[in-house]
Amino acid sequence: MSAREGIAAATGTEALTTELPVGRSTGWWGMVLVVATEATLFACLLGSYYYLRFQHGSPWPPDGIREPTLLRPLVMTVVLLPSSLPMIWAERGIRHGQRWRLHSGLAATLLLGATFLTLLATEYAETLREFTMTTDAYGSLFYVITGFHGLHVLVGLTMICWLLAASLRGGTFGAYRHDRVRNVAIYWHFVDVVWAAILFTIYLSPRL
Amino acid sequence: MPVDTTREATNAGPRRVRRRRRNGRVARTTLLAGVFLLGGCAGDGPSALDPAGSGAARVANLWWLLFWISVAVFVEVMALLVWAMVFRRGRDTRVRHGQPLRFVAVAGAGLPLVILVAVYAAGLRDLAALGEAPGPRAPTIEVTGHKWWWEVRVPGIDGATANELHIPVGERVRVRLHTADVLHSFWVPQLMPKTDLIAGEVRETWLQAERAGRYRGQCAEYCGTQHAHMAFLVVAEPRADFEAWLARLGSTARQPETDAQRRGQQAFVQGTCAGCHAIRGTPADGRIGPDLSDVGSRWSIGAGAVPNDGGHLGGWIANPQTVKPGNNMPPQPVDAARLPDLVAYLQSLK
Amino acid sequence: MSTTATPVDGAGQEDLARLAEHWAERPGLRSWLSTVDHKKIGRRYLVTAWLFFALAGISALVMRTQLARPESRLLSPQEYNQLFTMHGTAMIFLFATPMLFGFGNFLVPLMIGSRDMAFPKLNALGYWVFLFAGLFMWASLPFGAAPNGGWFAYVPLTGEQNDPGLHIDVYTLGLLFLGIATTAASINFIVTALKLRAPGMSLTRVPLFVWAIVATAFMVIFALPALNVDNAMLFLDRRFGTHFFDPEAAGNVLLWQHLFWIFGHPDVYIIVMPALGIVSAVLPAFTRRGVVGYALVALSIVSIAIISFGVWVHHMFATGLPQLSYSFFSAASTVITIPSGIQIFAWLATMLLGRVVLRVPLLFLIGFIVTFVLGGLTGAMFALTAFDQQVTDSYFVVAHFHYVLIGGAVFPMLAGAYYWLPKITGRMYHEGLGRWAFWLVFAGMHVTFFPMHLYGLFGMPRRVYTYRSEPGWDGWNLVSTAGSYLLAIGLLLVLVGVVHAVRRGRPAPPDPWGGDSLEWSTDSPPKPYNFPVLPQVHSLHPTWDDASRSSMGADATEDRILADGRRTLLTSELDARRERAAEMPEPSLQPLLLALELLVFFTSMLLAWYPIAAVAVLAVAATLAVWLWPPRRPDRELGVSP
Ligand code: HEA
Ligand code: HEA
Ligand code: CUA
Ligand SMILES: [Cu+2]
């Protein structure tokens, strides 16, 4: 082995005490795999939607349930999808060791996410008057799919609050150490993308 | 196989043919039994290796093809294994050389691929054959699976029977399958492979028997407590007898002749029975349990639970739960004095 | 616990001392509950899985006793149906997969030259969840509330009105609970194999066993969600009145079957794949050469993993789906036999070109080949729809899957058990006892299950609690029952052999077999830190090549000793170049606590104590928040610009 000294210097005892951001961290891989299996979960749910729908045939929605109205879902989309931007901005910030960007970015995302959930609540308040989870399989699919996604948003928000708390406490995140920020970001982007798929399946596809 | 069966069936009595064919099976199956010499043979049982109809016969032939191929493959593998164990035993020297990739690719992928393509083609042909529906004019029988018995009806005839259906020899008969509750599966090993009964849908299969006989059928999809006792009987008989059966199905049940039978009918109609059972030509028209208009002539009681004779019938009525635990007929409040009359009456319904 | 501290030149005595100090777990109840050592956790997986195996096996013996004669009244139908459901469910979910994950847990870090798994605490959590989920399900049996819908629990039989009571809720919740453990373990395996491989262990030098475990883990990641969605829907249908599976209300009963088998078929390979990995790991030691066609075998492992997602409908060949889809899935099921064939012949070639050393582990491998090939051949028969429609749901199928499950999974496990016993316990087993066990198990297996082919063809359906005497049924059933007792005695002898080894076995040297993979260059049993010096890998058979071996001795470098702290080395995913050292977590009670909170959650869901369930959820969230709370560090170390 020729370059042993060189490597030893790079990875020697003192160098090793600080995690130089070399390569992917185990945490990153862990989160990516979590997202992969979660994505499969949603794929199965949406797959079930299409299966039941095409096995049932028209009319869909059945039992005289009206096609879902589009306005609010579109507003929700406009609120949720952009919420990834401040997240990205915050992550970039902490990579340069700028805590203020982390804080403000997370706060913005938090705000948008919360708005999304309130909108979802008002959506339910309306649809529940027409049909519920127990009306028929369509109702079950509608509430379980959107509800399960809502739950993910809630989890995401909780994680963001947790990040905020941790970083406000100080001495936690910086240019060299922000694994957790990056992982939460990955999760949040995932929650966003899934919403796009749900919007298409539940709200748009019945009109096609 | 189906071809020669028809030929044999025409120029030899069914029973003799069966015995002759069975001997062939015995030979084959004992060979299959291989190591053990207890000689298991299909005999009169509902054996898929003793086919009596074109559907099952096709599959039986397919099986023997697959069987012999598998024997060949297995022998090949065993030969190599034994060779290694006998001639390659060694001291603890370490071997490194040799990567016979061609051997692995040919024996492990090449040959199997060839075999499998051929076999797949054969399988596809048989699948198509099993799949083609009988013509529009073919007789049709509606079968409904219940936990745990079979309701049998014929379109256009408003009578019903249970756990027994008749078909004319040689003809293909359409069978439409419904279920009243959970999934069941309609299986007559000697005549036709399985078709599941799917809740909320109607499935179709067909039966065809090359030779007259009584063929055991059985529910093959786990359906709960008494899945074990959900058997039925397919009776293949000459056209005339089949039509007689249809006629019986349409007509009202036989009227009681002896006093005992009359008292039995009274007890039945006025008792709880009528709430669940129908007997054509009497006020009894319950739909929960099997139609009993011809119960006297059935091959069994409780869908194969016990043979159909006076003793078992009495026992059943007294307490079905001891005969077929968990079935959907509760014990009945019949006073002991009436029981013999009931039995006499039900047995008279042929 | 170990025999002698082999002094290593390279890692000096003071290094060893520091390593020992950093990795030591002082004995005591607390450290027993809080350990994160992959070797201890792996051992626990093995022992617990064997316990569930014994329970499920004894259930099977009771079933066989009932089936010995026609019209037997030993068991009521209700009892029998719970027994066979628990037997199947436990064997698949609580025995086969966890047992193999146990091997993986113990071996993967040792084989890739690391000091632990990537996420040791998650690993501990996985074990506790597995244990609690298993007890959760078995506990229902004494109350007569065990699952009774068969291991694939078809609706509508498992719906509320057809099956009231807790039976099916135990099934759905139990499997959802267990799913957490399986998913966690899988993620852990993948990340460990990607990031913690010793420097120099590029992808082409990864042991086949590790390949198998990783492929398996990926299958779990993508297959398990289907089962979870299925069970969640069924639970909602039963408890909260949804209609996913209700044809009356736009639902569909076949949706259950599709989702179940989209998981279920990959699952059978999830079971067999690590077992095949064990075969590839054990064979070299007893043929004195590497497995022939490493690349081919690795390739077929990967292709099985992929193809197995495209064959699930072969479990639904009798449901009357369109012929077109049948011919497709029939073709796929036929094709999937090819990679298995390649592996079988690769192993045969290995034996033919090697020097066969007939020790107990190899005996079990031979038993594996004989049995698995027979089971595989019947599988290939089923692939033809027409034939499957005749034998499906008959005892012929029961024969098939016991041949592949016992032949394909249990035999390799036993081979592995004897092979790695010295490494795991530090003791040698008794050869003679082992041979007896083998012959009893082998004979018992075939006497039990071969006749099932026959009475399956003779028309005997599966899942019947009793049967009318029919020609060819009763005699053969009696034979099966006799065989199952033989099998049990054989397995009892295996158990005796293990106990004997632990109690009286002579101390094992580090490398009793002259094995080729890295675990054999550690002590038996390994030190808590596995390797005093993390190896520098130069070939596929590190323990057989001098460069790799001496990298742990004479020319060890400081950066592979990492004695100051609880640390191991991270390397790059593909070619395993050094990246950096990573801190490994200290022992902790958090995993146990979290698992207990989850147990509370699922139990209260089962018993409909929803408020308590809600509290449990909060507790879980809190525990996680603390668990993952970032450590405080000086800004300099974090790199914060003002
Ligand atoms: C370890 C688990 C395991 C394994 C490895 C397999 C392997 C295979 N299985 Fe099996 N299977 C099960 C576990 C397993 N199975 C279980 C549990 C069930 C029942 C579930 C239930 O209903 O309860 C089942 C049921 C099952 C069915 C449904 C039967 C039915 O319910 O009607 C089918 C149908 O296609 C099938 C096919 C196959 C095939 C084609 C293989 C192939 O992978 C086999 C490949 C191996 C070989 C073929 C042998 C080696 C190859 C050679 C020696 C080369 C030469 C070979 C040829 C030329 C063919 N299996
Ligand atoms: C890995 C999987 C696995 C394994 C190893 C086994 C092992 C055995 N199985 Fe298996 N079995 C299944 C998976 C498995 N089974 C599945 C998935 C089903 C389908 C269920 C369903 O239909 O839903 C099934 C169904 C099934 C049936 C069909 C039930 C029916 O359809 O009605 C039968 C019947 O004979 C049976 C028998 C046995 C026997 C005798 C063993 C023996 O090998 C067991 C031997 C083991 C032991 C005896 C315990 C270990 C021994 C000791 C610890 C020693 C101490 C113990 C004693 C002294 C007793 N099994
Ligand atoms: Cu009906 Cu089984
Ligand atoms: Cu399968």
Identify from C82, C89, C157, C378 which residue to disrupt to test chain B contact, counting B C-beta atoms within 10 A and taking the largest count.
C157
* Residue C76 CA, ligand 1 centroid: distance in Å: 32
In order, the DSSP letters of chain A are --THHHHHHHHSHHHHTS----S--HHHHHHHHHHHHHHHHHHHHHHHHHHHHHHH-SSSS-TTPPPPPSHHHHHHHHHHGGGHHHHHHHHHHHHTT-HHHHHHHHHHHHHHHHHHHHHHHHHHHHHHHH--TTT-HHHHHHHHHHHHHHHHHHHHHHHHHHHHHHHHH-SS--SS--HHHHHHHHHHHHHHHHHHHHIIIIIIGGG-
> In chain B, pLDDT over 90 holds for what percent of residues?
74
| pLDDT exceeds 70 at position B35 | no
Q: Nearest residue on chain C to B327, judged by CA atoms?
A: C77
For residue B267 and ligand 3, the question of a CB distance below 6 A is answered with no
Residue C287 touches chain B, beta carbons under 8 Å: yes
Strands B231-237 and B164-168: parallel
* Residue C87 CA, ligand 3 centroid: distance in Å: 20
Q: Which atom of ligand 1 is nearest to the CA of C372?
A: 49
Residue C241 touches chain B, beta carbons under 8 Å: no
Predicted pLDDT at A7: 44
Residue C62 touches chain A, beta carbons under 8 Å: no
Q: Could you report the predicted ipTM of this complex, rounded to two decimals?
A: 0.92
The pLDDT tens digits for B138-185 are 999 999 999 999 999 999 998 999 999 999 999 999 999 999 999 999
Distance from CA of C172 to the nearest CA of A (A): 16
For residue C314 and ligand 1, the question of a CB distance below 6 A is answered with yes
Pocket of ligand 1, candidates C269, C272, C315: which has the most ligand atoms within 8 Å of its Cβ, to mutate?
A: C315
Residue C617 touches chain A, beta carbons under 8 Å: no
In order, the DSSP letters of C356-424 are B---HHHHHHHHHHHHHHHHHHHHHHHTSHHHHHHHTTBHHHHHHHHIIIIIIIIHHHHHHHHHHHHHH
For residue B278 and ligand 3, the question of a CB distance below 6 A is answered with no
Residue C16: what residue type?
L
Pocket of ligand 2, candidates C79, C267, C398: which has the most ligand atoms within 8 Å of its Cβ, to mutate?
A: C398
Question: What number of other Cβ atoms are within 10 A of residue A160's Cβ?
Answer: 25
Burial of A100 (0-12, 13-18, 19+ CB in 10 A): exposed
| A21 closest CA partner among A72, A91, A106, A120 | A91
pLDDT band per the 50, 70, 90 thresholds, residue B41: very low
For residue C341 and ligand 1, the question of a CB distance below 6 A is answered with yes
State which H helix or E strand residue C101 sits in: helix C97-111
The pLDDT tens digits for B257-307 are 999 999 999 999 998 999 999 999 999 999 999 999 999 999 999 999 999
For residue C409 and ligand 1, the question of a CB distance below 6 A is answered with yes
Cβ–Cβ gap C225/A36 under 8 Å: no
Pocket of ligand 1, candidates C93, C261, C404: which has the most ligand atoms within 8 Å of its Cβ, to mutate?
A: C404
pLDDT band per the 50, 70, 90 thresholds, residue B194: very high
Q: Among positive and negative, which fits the CA dihedral B329, B331, B335, B338?
A: positive
At C49, is the secondary structure helix, strand, or coil?
A: helix
Cβ–Cβ gap B222/C154 under 8 Å: yes
All partners of chain A with 3 or more CB pairs under 8 angstroms: C
Q: How many residues does chain C have?
A: 642
Cβ–Cβ gap A23/C582 under 8 Å: no
For residue B159 and ligand 3, the question of a CB distance below 6 A is answered with no
CA B26 distance to own-chain centroid: 21
Predicted pLDDT at B32: 52
Beta bridge partners of B160: B153
Identify from C121, C191, C194, C248 which residue to disrupt to test chain A contact, counting A C-beta atoms within 10 A and taking the largest count.
C191
Of B108, B147, B200, the CB nearest to C344: B108
Ligand nearest to the CA of C496: 2
Of B33, B92, B220, the CB nearest to C393: B220
Average pLDDT, chain B: 86
Task: Tell me C146's DSSP state.
Answer: S
CB C159 within 8 A of CB C97: no
Predicted pLDDT at C462: 96
Burial B44-83 (b: 16+ CB within 10 A, else e): ebbbbbbbbbbbbbbbbebbebbbebbeebeeebeebbee
Cβ–Cβ gap A19/C621 under 8 Å: no
Instruction: Residue A23: list chain C partners with CB under 8 A.
Output: 570, 572-573, 579-580
Identify from A17, A18, A35, A48 which residue to disrupt to test chain C contact, counting C C-beta atoms within 10 A and taking the largest count.
A48
Q: Residues in chain A with pLDDT < 50?
A: 1-20
The pLDDT tens digits for B201-224 are 999 999 999 999 999 999 999 999
Q: Residues in chain C with pLDDT < 70?
A: 1-10, 641-642
The pLDDT tens digits for B52-91 are 999 999 999 999 999 999 999 999 999 999 999 888 777 6
Distance from CA of C574 to the nearest CA of A (A): 11
CB C46 within 8 A of CB C106: yes
Q: In what order do the strands lie in the sheet with B192-197?
A: B164-168, B231-237, B213-219, B184-188, B192-197
Per-residue tokens: B232: 């039925």
For residue B219 and ligand 3, the question of a CB distance below 6 A is answered with yes
Predicted pLDDT at B31: 52
